Amino acid sequence: MFIAVGGLAALAQAASLPELKKQFEGQVREAQQWQREELKTASGHYMKTLEFAEQRLQESGNDEALGWVRAEKKRFEQAADMPESALGRGPMRRAQEAWREQAQKVKVEAAQRVADVAGKYMQALSQLQLQSAGNLAALAEIKDETDRVLGNNIIREALALAKTAPAKPAVETEPAQPPKPVVEPAKPVKPVAETPKTAPARLTGPVTVGDYKLFPQGKEPAQKELKALRLEFPNVAARSAASAYGLGAAVFTDKGKVETDRQNAGWFAFRQERGMTRTAARVTLTCHGRELAEGSKLVVHYFSHPANSLSDLREERVEQIALPALPRGQAVVVDGTGIWLGKFEHRGTHVRLKGGDEFYGLIVGLFDPDGKLLIQQCSPSALAKSCPASLPKERQQDDLRGRYGPPGPPGGRP
């Protein structure tokens, strides 16, 4: 734990130079250890992203992209760094840029901690120097220690890097003069002890929130016919949100309510399917550079289109999933309830008819407890114009009766 502002200087009144030096070096090691742990967490998330991509590309048979992902895994395991020359293209580049930004933030914050400790140590040495007036041997030791710290490469680099961070509000210190009297409030206010802010606990197992379950990434249940979607940002400005949070999406389909009828008379054969299919989203949310406040909401919009046309899109449902507090570096997976769509398909020897509705795409958004948009993406990109800027209301799917059956006129909904 770091000593409070002025802590080392205050210790100088009673502490010797060896004691002050021990405190200083211990706090520098703590800052360095904190940096290593934070970078390890960020690197672990990036490696999981690569492993997930490797699995999906292996299933899809995209050998070119698969080779790049495997080469990047090997490179990053050895280098644990992200030079400009290593950046790829597409979704993986976004993951790489997110790692670079998070790593830079960690390094700057660690440098600020070291710079703060070094500044306090210099104050303590100055105070100890005043107390040692007349003791030439002690003064020589303090001067040597001051020169050593100022010439230390770790301290010099930390001071230079700390200057790149945004300016922080000035820390209030005890005033030299007695404070002015404070007028008591009309009603006595019970003092509340301040407690340090702690990071949210990391999810280690499934968590149920209403009708939904959240799983730590890697512990979600397997789903058949899981199809990954390529999410796009609705505009260029929205891309900046990727440094704080990340979204991934896939869909899976349940065909449990589809009836199949087959006939084969040698010269004549047909297969007919009719019924309902359920399509649900599997969303992966990652807290890259920020924690997520409790009560934030994950919003999923489902869109469909007629089986015979892409010109008549319909927003079928808006799911709103309340989320628990999540720490920085946590990645969770949540499965939506999804939508039901009617299906009719007839495949004969000389004819093929198709009717009903088919799944078209998703809009996925993350909103804070006050309804402020944190990040939003869609798939396909044609849905960008439908992305809402404010928190939408949850909406259930309409009654599907009468919306499917044998095909009607081309281009229209049956």
Task: Tell me the pLDDT tens digit for each residue of 321-338.
Answer: 999 999 988 999 999 999
The CA-based angle 259-261-265, given to 5 degrees, is: 175
pLDDT of residue 365: 95
pLDDT of residue 392: 94
Of 54-63, 88-97, 165-174, 344-353, the range with the lowest mean pLDDT is 165-174
Give yes or no for a contact between 280 and 345, defined as CB atoms under 8 angstroms apart.
no
Mean pLDDT over 390-407 rounds to 73
Share of residues in the chain with pLDDT > 70 (%): 80
Q: How confident is the model at residue 2 (pLDDT cuts 50, 70, 90)?
A: very low
DSSP string, 213-242: EEEETT-SPP-TT-EEE--B-SSSGGGGGG
Give yes or no for a contact between 282 and 223, defined as CB atoms under 8 angstroms apart.
yes
Q: How confident is the model at residue 414 (pLDDT cuts 50, 70, 90)?
A: very low
pLDDT of residue 5: 39
**Is residue 170 pLDDT above 50, yes or no?**
no
Q: What residue type is 158 in one-letter code?
A: A
Q: Which of 400, 197, 195 is nearest to 304 (CA)?
A: 400
pLDDT of residue 348: 63
pLDDT of residue 196: 54
Of 5-19, 244-258, 372-386, the range with the lowest mean pLDDT is 5-19
pLDDT of residue 209: 84
pLDDT of residue 289: 78
Of 50-54, 162-166, 242-246, the range with the lowest mean pLDDT is 162-166
Give yes or no for a cis peptide into 380 (omega within 30° of 0). yes
pLDDT of residue 408: 39
Provide the mean pLDDT of the chain: 80
**Is residue 89 pLDDT above 90, yes or no?**
no
CA distance 11 to 290: 35
**Is residue 361 pLDDT above 90, yes or no?**
yes
Q: How confident is the model at residue 136 (pLDDT cuts 50, 70, 90)?
A: confident
pTM of the predicted model over 0.85? no
What number of CA atoms fall less than 13 Å from residue 408's CA on the CB side? 12
User: 197 to each of 3, 256, 338, 380, how far by Cα in Å?
Assistant: 17, 48, 37, 40
